[in-house]
Chain A
Amino acid sequence: MRVNFTVNGRPQEADDVWEGESLLYVLRERLGLPGSKNACEQGECGSCTVRLDGVPVCSCLVAAGQVEGRDVVTVEGLADFAKQRAEHGHGGACGTAGGCGSKGVSTDEAKQWSAKGTDSQTGEGVELSTVQQAFIDAGAVQCGFCTPGLLVQADALLERNADPSDQDIREALSGNLCRCTGYEKILDAVRLAAARQGEAV
């Protein structure tokens, strides 16, 4: 079957999707977005966390057919998503406003394209979001496999709760498993991001 949906603000069309396929598989294998990680495939580890119409979900447990017409943000689009939110005061898909990525591009323009510029789709060249930068600065990344899911989930937490208690952070991240860090640095990173966001306001 064919599935049409928006990913990181850009309309996407996935073809020959098997009916039992997960959103995670479509993102990784059909749309070339390997940021969302495939680990447990049973909703246990949170490393495939994406925003579905703004709501954080495990993409391995969403059937591809269920996202028809809906809006997905992956870790690749997180920086852009966070930037838009800061600018417009809300988390919103840039695609709905017809802003990024959906404009017509002439062939001549396309020839000038280079991968070095910013890309809301792959996240390349885009300035990191507060949460992403905080993860780097706090040393919250070791092997990095759990990081994309944690970033999406932590960003969603700070969107909802700008000043989370340790208990809030622990609970928000309770569905994201990390087997390297022991979580302390991850908690530090979320606290750091919250503090920096607080300063910016």
Chain B
Amino acid sequence: MDFLRPASWEEALAAKAEYPTAVPIAGGTDIMVEINFDHRRPEYLLDLNRIELLREWEVGEEVTKLGASVPYTQIMENLRGTLPGLALASHTVASPQIRNRGGVGGNLGCASPAGDSHPALLAAGAEVEVESVRGSRLIPIDEFYTGVKRNALAADELIKTIHIKNATGPQQYSKVGTRNAMVIAVCGFGLALHPETRTVRTGIASAAPTPIRAKAAEEFLNAALEEGGFWDNGKVITPSIAKQFGDLASGACNPIDDVRGTAKYRRHAVGILARRQLVWTWEQYRGTNGRSFEGAA
């Protein structure tokens, strides 16, 4: 094994081009587990800790540019206002020690269907800026996940920045697990209301081979909200709409049975999470609820 320690982003890209099998390591919260347990012996480790720009973020007018290695703790503490869904999701990641090291770039790089940030990114709307010595490109989040633990990165590319749409409405994220800390999601769900476009977006984790959106549920809800004039009249969501939304979210799942839960349970739980989050976010949108606009992270 070789340990590559680029001092700059340019050096990192050059190293990745020269050694395409090199495994990037930032927080190390996934890769070190695999190495400690001898599950993986990468030929090269590419340390990204010395690259300052990966730990920076910039809140713009419409989009927040989040460096790939910004730790979850920083997201929770500093970006609750603009990225409430991601801040909530960050707060559910493992433990304080892990949140001090891990970041969204690692979640995307590993592309585990259970990653906590995926539903939040899918629901908010995001693009992943990746770069290689050949140049950089923006991958829409919907096209980023290509299979179980597979993503759209080329062998010589590194994840640089995640461009996430700033919230213009309430967002939620919740997951099912056996305790509040240190759990890999049995399943997770994220919902974002986008009042400026009068649309909603969703994200599902750990209930399909990749993180996915519940598109049929989104389309149904968009139409139902429009038809009933809900965005304008701010009425309470009817139970039948909430139920149908939950059922359709459930139907979007394509889960498996595994040690954490059965497929049937996951499908059911995603439906419940979706229904509850719709009520929470809508109540927040109506302004009748005590919940602040920011995530409660």
| A residues apposed to B, CB below 8 Å | 1, 18-20, 22, 41-44, 46, 49, 55-58, 60-63, 65-66, 68, 153, 171-172, 174-176
Contacts and interface: CB of A to CB of B under 8 A. Distances in A.
Contacts, number: 88
Interface of B: 1-3, 5, 25, 27-29, 32-33, 35-37, 41-42, 45, 47, 49, 94-98, 100-101, 180-182
A153 B45 contact: no
A172 B41 CA distance: 33
Contacts of B100: 55-57
Contact of B2 (A19, A63, A66): A19
Contacts of B2: 19
Given A58-B98, A63-B28, A65-B45, A44 B182 contact: yes
Contact of B33 (A41, A174, A176): A41
Contacts of B49: 66
B97 A62 contact: no
Chain B contact residues: over half helix, strand or loop, or mixed? loop
Contacts of B45: 19-20, 63, 65
A56 B180 CA distance: 20
23 contacts: A19-B45, A22-B32, A41-B33, A42-B36, A42-B37, A43-B29, A46-B95, A57-B100, A61-B28, A61-B29, A62-B28, A62-B32, A62-B101, A63-B45, A65-B3, A65-B45, A66-B25, A68-B5, A153-B97, A171-B181, A174-B180, A175-B96, A175-B181
Contact of B96 (A1, A60, A171): A171
Given A22-B32, A41-B37, A65 B5 contact: yes
Nearest to B1: A19
Nearest to B44: A19
